[in-house]
Amino acid sequence: MTIAAPRARKPQSRFTRSVAFAKHNPKLVVGVFLLGLLIAIGFLGPYLIDATDAAPMSVRPDQSPNSEVWLGSDSQGRSLLALLVKGIPLTLQVGFLAGGIGLAIGTILGLISGYVGGVTDTLIRSAADVMLTVPGLLVLIVIASSIDGFVQIEIIALVVASLAWMWPTRTIRSQVLSMRSRPYVEMAKLNGLNTFQIIVRELIPNLLPFLAASFVGAVGAAVLATIGIEALGLGPQDAPSLGMTIYWSIYYSSLLRGLWWWWATPVAAIVVLFVSLFLIASALDEIANPRLRKVGT
């Protein structure tokens, strides 16, 4: 009696693997799609519409959405669609810049604090704990209002990043504390690797999924802080960012005057942005933390 050899499994196509990945990570797919949609509006919009309509008195003021201005216009004679096209890249620029800088500082401090320990750990942890008790938005308002001259987008990003490193420092420190006693770290020590080599070769690669989720969360927090500063009128006055559009909407009392499209347009874009960032961060957190994964995925 002969036993038939098992058939070799047919390799899956790239499309099949993509569909399987989408089924197992629906939140990540939806979040990336929404974020990609916003990025496409910001970067492809100037090729589809006249972006110069974002300048004052480019169109008739206070128009409701119609065939000429699809999302209406504000009291300064600016098209809300053009403002959206120009404002989304500015808001994302601040978010990614401030979130990246804050996460980079927090990652460096968290790695040093968690792995080195001792007095260094005490100093860094105490500094982060003290700064966490300080009202962040209040400090940002004071710093932003103290800047003389023209406030640029990059300055706003640096102001936000100056208070965006504490939470990454604490969370990454806690991750490193649980990793530094694991067998692969002990083996690296026995092989003669120094502290810097262990951090770069052993700790950071294992932290990459967690760092990715932290980066998305840091971008969301930076965008929220930036919008709060700009909505108070402390941002660049001539920049058509989403936060400054809300500020001018408040300044001209659009809600009381019934100009709902003026504030609804930037608010809708902000809601889509935060939903996309939340879905991406949640999906990356599930990938980084096996305990959060669904059974059967």
Residue 178's Cβ-side half-sphere holds a number of Cα atoms within 13 Å equal to: 7
Domain segments of the chain: what residues? 26-50+73-292
The answer to whether the CB of 73 falls within 8 A of the CB of 130 is no
Q: Say how many Å lie between the first and final Cα of the chain, rounded.
A: 40
Rounded distance between C-alpha atoms, residue 23 and residue 21, angstroms: 5
- Alpha-carbon gap, residue 74 to 62, rounded angstroms: 5
Residue 196: pLDDT over 90: no
pLDDT band at 297 (very low <50, low <70, confident <90, very high): very low
Task: Say if CB 244 and CB 236 are below 8 A apart.
Answer: yes
Note the pTM of the prediction, 2 decimals: 0.82
Amino acid making up residue 247: Y
Strand partners, 79: 73
Q: Please give the Cα distance from 270 to 26 (Å, whole number).
A: 21
Q: How far is CA 17 from the centre of its chain?
A: 28
**Beta-bridge partners for 209:** none
Burial level of 133, CB count in 10 A (0-12/13-18/19+)? exposed
Inform me whether the pLDDT recorded for 6 exceeds 70: no
For 140, the token pair is 């940002």
Question: Letter for the amino acid at 228?
Answer: G
- Other CB atoms within 10 Å distance of the CB of residue 131: 16
The rounded distance, in Å, linking the Cα atoms of 135 and 233 is 19
Tokens for 269, please give them.
Answer: 């874009």
pLDDT band, very low/low/confident/very high, at 49 (cuts 50, 70, 90): confident
CATH superfamily of 26-50+73-292: MetI-like (1.10.3720.10)
- Burial group, residue 296, by CB count within 10 angstroms (0-12, 13-18, 19+): exposed
Whole-number Å distance between alpha carbons of 93 and 272? 16
Average pLDDT, integer, range 137-162: 74
User: What are the pLDDT digits (tens) for 230-282?
Assistant: 888 888 877 888 999 999 999 999 989 999 999 999 999 999 999 999 999 88
Q: Give the pLDDT of residue 9.
A: 59
User: Whose CA is closest to 269, among 242, 249, 251?
Assistant: 242
| 205 Cα distance to chain centroid | 21
Model confidence band, residue 124 (pLDDT cutoffs 50, 70, 90): very high
Residue 209, CB-side half-sphere exposure with 13 Å CA sphere: 10
